């Protein structure tokens, strides 16, 4: 979600559903000059349009043949389009099986022989009786004949030129000041081609275009409650100054107007958050994208002494095993796990293992366990959690009294009492 896409030179993948496509901004501007530029340098497979109606490949009026893929220059093969927002120019490319303007199929658009027996078919170039017609939104027509492109009926300018891209023979059109004629983000186009041999307009192509804009964003669980967000354009042409984030409850910052680079957000609390990114296309369409994310809570440290939490009572000289293996990361964040343990045990020091075995404890001791978690993806240390366990050492036990012990004690008391009486008499 490298991140990523530069809006000014955005090329979006063409998504066609029932002939509906997406107008594109050209990364490599089309040059309509007839100089046979590199096909890959100006056009890509994403620029080719699916047709809303079938292609009529019938330049010789043999209507029984649906796909007469011969070498005639009016055998329509494919239609491409691009829109250059910076110059407000709408480009089209009509690809044909033969050479443009070559009605009789001899690969020479200026040879009139062989067409209808009268020698009036070809040229020169695209002759007065031969034409390619491209109509946008049912109103603006680019008519190309006599090697001239004319915009009718609305005033305006267009350019057109023959091109040859290796095996691809084509005519490119440029409709200047396109937005004054059509909506560059919502229109239909109709193409016809023909000439004297079969009448103008026998080969036909139709397609419609409608802007399909989509945003997406991704985020990285960066550190503790910090999340790093980055947005991207999936399709459409967006105003690069019209981004708005809402990062949800407890976020700092709460909003941002940056799509790229990464926006760093700190959350005050863990748990589920609703995050949205909204953009606006250059045609004014508001496009939202909302996701629910989870901000991981701190890990839970669980300190045990001889398997006990809280307080353990032992006799003097007993040994104790301290264990933190029951500690765990946030169970709602399975991408996190415990990375590091640290025990601090007074009188014995600091230990960096999950378990410290068989320590002799001779006095009351409170041991402290700290654990740190990590993300599975990066292995970097993140948040910490702490717990304690107390070991109480019991005093030595007094031997229990028995009848014999009691008798001896009574006798001892009697002797001590008699001795005291004797001493008093002497006094």
Q: Is residue 55 domain-resident?
A: yes
Q: Are residues 346 and 242 in the same domain?
A: no
183 vs 245, higher pLDDT: 245
Rg (CA), the chain: 43
Query: Does residue 334 sit in helix, strand or coil?
Result: coil
Residues 199 and 244 placed together within one structural domain of the fold:
no
Is residue 200 domain-shared with residue 268, that is, in the same domain? no
Task: Mark whether 206 and 227 lie in a shared domain.
Answer: no
Mean predicted confidence (pLDDT) in 396-407: 65
Q: Are residue 91 and residue 154 in the same domain, yes or no?
A: yes
How large is the average pLDDT for residues 84-110?
78
pLDDT tens across 206-221, in order?
A: 888 877 788 999 999 9
Query: Do the domain assignments include residue 336?
Result: yes
CATH value at residue 130: 2.60.40
Mean pLDDT (the chain) is 78
The answer to whether residues 160 and 60 belong to one domain is yes
Q: Distance (Å, rounded) from C-alpha 24 to C-alpha 11?
A: 6
Instruction: Provide the pLDDT confidence category of residue 25 given band limits of 50, 70 and 90.
Output: very low
pLDDT above 80 (res 416): no
> How far apart, in Å, are the Cα atoms of 80 and each of 66, 96, 242, 342, 408?
21, 12, 30, 65, 117
Please report which confidence band the pLDDT of residue 26 belongs to, taking 50, 70 and 90 as the band edges. Answer: very low
User: Using alpha carbons only, what angle is made at residue 94 by residues 88 and 100, rounded to the nearest 5 degrees?
Assistant: 125
| 80, part of any domain | yes
Both tokens assigned to 172? 């490119």
> Given a cut of 90, is residue 260 above it in pLDDT?
no
Domain that holds residue 110: 23-210
Has residue 399 been placed in a domain? no
CA distance linking residue 250 with residue 320, whole number of Å: 43
> Which residues does 167 contact at the CB level (< 8 Å), separation at least 6?
none
State the total domains in the chain. 3
Q: What percent of the chain has pLDDT over 90?
A: 35
In a domain, 423, yes or no: no
Q: How far does CA 320 lie from the centroid of its chain?
A: 52
Three-state secondary structure string covering 157-223: CEEEEEEEECCEEEEEEEECCHHHCCCCCEEEEEEEEECCCCCCCCEEEEEEEECCCEEEEEEEEEE
Same domain, 71 and 150: yes
User: What is the rounded CA–CA span in Å between residue 309 and residue 369?
Assistant: 12
Q: Is the pLDDT of residue 336 over 60?
A: yes
- pLDDT for the residue numbered 425: 59
Task: Tell me which range, 35-39, 217-221, 366-370, is most confidently predicted by mean pLDDT.
Answer: 366-370
> Do 117 and 260 lie in a common domain?
no
The three-point CA angle 30-36-39 to 5° equals 60
Supply the CATH number for residue 225's domain: 2.60.40.10
- For residues 288 and 312, membership in a common domain is answered with no
From 183, 210, 237, the end of a domain falls on 210
Per the domain annotation, does 187 fall within a domain? yes
pLDDT band at 252 (very low <50, low <70, confident <90, very high): very high
pTM for this entry = 0.59
- Give the pairing of strands 251-252 and 286-295: unpaired
Q: Are residues 182 and 42 in the same domain?
A: yes
Least confident of 31-35, 234-238, 300-304, 397-401: 397-401
Boundary of a domain, candidates 170, 186, 210: 210
Q: Is the pLDDT of residue 165 over 90?
A: no
Task: For residue 407, tell me if it sits in a domain.
Answer: no
- Phi-psi category of 202—alpha, beta or left, where left has phi over 0 and alpha has psi -120 to 50? alpha
Reported as half-sphere exposure (CB side, CA atoms, 13 A), residue 404 has a value of 1
Same domain for 316 and 251: no
349 and 290 fall within a common domain: no
Answer with the one of 181, 210, 239 that is the final residue of a domain. 210
What Å distances lie between residue 179 and 83, 103, 176, 357, CA to CA?
10, 34, 9, 79
CA-nearest of 211, 210, 282 to 240 is 282
| CA end-to-end distance (rounded Å), the chain | 106
Does 4 fall in a domain?
no
Give the three-state DSSP class for 423. Answer: helix
């Amino acid at each position: 979600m490298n991140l990523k896409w530069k809006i000014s030179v955005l090329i979006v993948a063409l998504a066609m559903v029932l002939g509906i496509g997406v107008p594109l901004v050209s990364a490599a501007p089309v040059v309509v000059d007839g100089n046979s530029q590199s096909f890959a340098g100006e056009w890509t497979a994403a620029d080719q349009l699916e047709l809303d109606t079938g292609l009529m490949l019938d330049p010789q009026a043999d209507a029984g043949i649906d796909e007469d893929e011969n070498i005639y220059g009016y055998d329509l093969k494919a239609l491409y389009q691009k829109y250059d927002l910076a110059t407000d120019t709408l480009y089209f490319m009509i690809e044909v099986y033969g050479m443009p303007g070559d009605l009789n199929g001899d690969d020479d658009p200026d040879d009139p022989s062989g067409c209808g027996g009268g020698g009036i078919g070809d040229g020169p170039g695209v002759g007065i009786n031969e034409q390619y017609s491209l109509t946008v939104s049912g109103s603006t027509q680019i008519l190309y004949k006599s090697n001239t492109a004319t915009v009718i009926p609305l005033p305006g300018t267009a350019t057109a030129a023959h091109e040859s891209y290796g095996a691809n023979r084509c005519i490119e059109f440029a409709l200047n000041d396109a937005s004054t004629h059509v909506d560059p983000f919502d229109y239909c186009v109709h193409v016809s081609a023909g000439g004297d041999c079969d009448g103008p307009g026998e080969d036909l192509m139709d397609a419609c275009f409608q802007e399909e804009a989509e945003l997406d964003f991704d985020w990285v669980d960066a550190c503790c409650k910090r999340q790093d967000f980055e947005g991207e354009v999936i399709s459409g042409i967006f105003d690069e100054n019209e981004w708005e984030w809402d990062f949800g409850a407890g976020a700092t910052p709460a909003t941002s107007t940056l799509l790229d680079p990464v926006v760093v957000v700190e959350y005050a609390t863990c748990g589920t958050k609703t995050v949205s990114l909204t953009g606006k296309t250059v045609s004014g369409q508001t496009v939202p994208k909302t996701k629910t994310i989870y901000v991981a809570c701190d890990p839970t440290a669980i300190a045990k002494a001889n398997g006990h939490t809280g307080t353990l009572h032992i006799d003097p000289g007993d040994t104790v095993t301290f264990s933190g293996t029951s500690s765990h990361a946030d169970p709602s964040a399975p991408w996190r796990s415990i990375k590091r343990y640290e025990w601090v045990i007074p009188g014995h020091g600091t230990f960096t293992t999950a378990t410290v075995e068989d320590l002799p404890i001779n006095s009351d001791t409170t041991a402290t366990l700290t654990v740190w978690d990590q993300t599975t993806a990066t292995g970097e240390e993140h948040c910490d959690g702490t717990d304690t366990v107390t070991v109480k050492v019991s005093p030595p036990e007094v031997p229990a009294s028995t009848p014999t012990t009691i008798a001896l004690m009574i006798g001892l008391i009697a002797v001590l009492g008699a001795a005291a009486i004797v001493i008093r008499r002497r006094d």
